[in-house]
Structure 1
Amino acid sequence: MDRPTSSPTIDLAPWQKADIDWRQAAGANLSVLAAAHAGFPALKPLLPIFEALTGIRVGYLMADETDMRTKRRVDLASGAGVYDVVPIGVTYLGEAHASGWLDDLSGPLNDPTLTDAAWFDVEDISQALRDLHVMDGSLLAIPYSSATGVFAYRKDLFARYNLSVPDSYAEIVAMKAKLQAALDKDGLQDTYAFATRAKIGAGRNTWMVISCIRAYGGEMLDANGRAIFNSPEAVRALDVYRDMITGAGTPPESEAMDIYQMRKLFGEGKLASMIVASDFFNQIDSPEKSPVWDRWDVAVIPRGPASRETSLWAWAWGINSASSQKRAAWLFTQWATSKATIDLLGTGVAPARLSAWEAKAFQGLGAPGLIVGTTWALNHATPSRLQTGIPEFPEAGLAASLAFSEIFFGAQVQETLDAAVKKVDGIMEKGPTKR
């Protein structure tokens, strides 16, 4: 069904404050690809605002993440230009940059005919997130949503059993056994104490395990791109991570738990705590979505003996270098990531903009720790070298992920990491980063 391009009920004033001609590409037809989660569905109902503001017609295709990535890669690699604007995360940014698939957005960002710098206020978008999307001096995408590791917990259960929120990974191991014993004693047999990411995949178990390794003083790669995640520090971290996700206090098949299973269990009231991406909240922020919607809070991700580390993620908007509608594509990107739009989305998105976390919508969630934990990461998190968008990440990350999974299922830690390091070194030697 066609959407109207104008409506007397649409207030365009927040965007018309920008000192640019929003209608300079009026009449253009824009094709936008989006994922079916992470704030993209919340943006779709606002598209009539953009169309009325600009006179640009938008086709907005949402697909599940796997299908979206396939569609995006086929289009970008072929140069067909089917999608003018695409969502992208740092995992695949290196390949896109090395292949020349995305435009450098520093051009339109700094063009006063296209962008009102004061109104757009790019500095309000987390510097750490922006840095993840810069390669060889090119700004390849504008962050839209954010995610970072946090410790989420049922505040009612922690209060009932007089438990302190764990501040370290080691404390989680002790906490989950104690909490599970209390849950079982109360007859809550289908409720589990703790879970975190374990499923195989670059960007799956790696995203949390790497934070743990770094918190114990280890690293994945050294400054020369050599794999070093078989160090004593990394071995110790994997010992602790394995103990967190196995044994007493963990759900069945926790050795292969994915983010969607965790979120589902937590939302159903069957999981008492988890280390999870911070954008989980909009799946449980109302009584219609979850029976525990008002019984949870968040703490900053646990620390290790060396430091407190977390991995940042953003879904960002990039412009297809094969697009024939570059001006229209930038106007959409600017509009979608602007303060005015992000503020209107409220808790429909986990924002990349720092100011949005102080908005009334987030204050009203009743989970003040979510704001503290997320903004701490947005201001302080530093990425692992393996997670800075290098082209080898999909292959090297998978090799590391497979090793982590083997350890979760009982493989010897040092031997398994030694073998994985050799595989990753081989991948890095052949890859474009060293060349």
Structure 2
Amino acid sequence: MRRAERRFCISVRNTYAPHFETKPVNEDRRQFWALYFARFAEGFGFMTLVTLLPFYINVLQPTDTTILGVTISAGLIVGLYTSGFTLAQTVAVVPVAWSGDRFDKRTVLLVVLGIGVGVYALFPIVDSSGSFIGIRALQGIAVTGSGLMTLSLVGQIADVGTRANHIGKANAANFAASIVGGLGAGTLYEAFGFGPIFTIIVCITLVAWLSTFGYLETDETRVHGFPFAGLALNRRILTISAFRFQYAFSVTLVRTWIPIFAGVAAAEGGLAYGGLAVALATVIEKFTNMCCQPFTGRLSDSYGRALFVFAGGGAYGLIALAVPFTPAIGAALDLPAEIVLFGQVSPAFLPLVALSGLLGVADSFREPASMALFADEGTEDGGVASSFGIRELIWRPGSVVAPLLGGWLMYEVSMASVFYVGGAFALTGVTAFLLILVHTHGRQALFEW
């Protein structure tokens, strides 16, 4: 059944669906802006740490470690720099999402933003791999809670015909913060070290808390029961999960290893670029994604969700496969090895920046369509926060395991193998999505969802 037709149908809920009471949330423009700024703060902190990751590797110098007779390799420790973050996110998803549906989402958002203020204030005390992994885990809880609550509230406040557009704008705010945070982190680190960077993040997160407190209306929607159970059986959510589960491995590998590839020493398979060059190679994906998402979100509202998920995911995989060839591309095109502002780089620099930007364009088609689909199903069946929670849980195995896999591949196989594996996951994901979509929902489902 077409999405437009479903708006006028009475939803028949299965026996697992919770009983819920709904009161309208005041659709005030200031609420959207408060939520957009909370997304900005979330993206700023997250991307800053991603950009600083190769410098933490260089400073902390992870080595093989034996714990209780078990040897943990340097590659796995590097993987834990990200997996500690994502594992904590996984643990936080269900309780945070349930709390958002059962209680006031505004209050939950204020709590997790407050946690974020405290967590970022702790980063300057990092002096070992263990402390870095531990504080990154706390950051994972703050980032997950903020992301779930802001997206749930945006999806709940927005009308169905504008939902992907508003989600695209919220994501654009997140990406704008990623750009500012990435470029700022690279520049400030080279000038001042780690300390001042986290002072700025604390201040931005505190302003997000104050704007949420001052402008966001109380959420009076309440969901009784455990909405995860009913939504887990939703046919559309099950279908897209076949793609999203595999795609998580792809995105986590590619996004994490773009800055590592650019910044680590050549002896470890990297390009050994400076902070500003690493930042540009990292944030250009966020910039193109930010510019495209409000537009692609409107297209998804008009033309459906499935086609955008399929096209964006497939293009992402193909582009990822090309990343290891950037040195050969640069040499073949006789590109310069020195660029104003960035100094000595290599001929691979411009191709790497270009491919990173194309990754952002590809993902801008996939992301708002995917998020809007989960918001559509969650709003209709009751429990939009739980719907986004399921979306997060599907992502978590890939986001936890992929960094460990990437660290092992980087040290035991090659840097290039990380991107080959990442690209392959995206392509197998879209293939599985298409086959299940056609088999379960019909040949026209790709154009009708």
Fold shared, TM-score > 0.5 on shorter chain: no
Given the two structures, how large is their TM-score scaled by the length of structure 1? 0.22
Given the two structures, how large is their TM-score scaled by the length of structure 2? 0.22
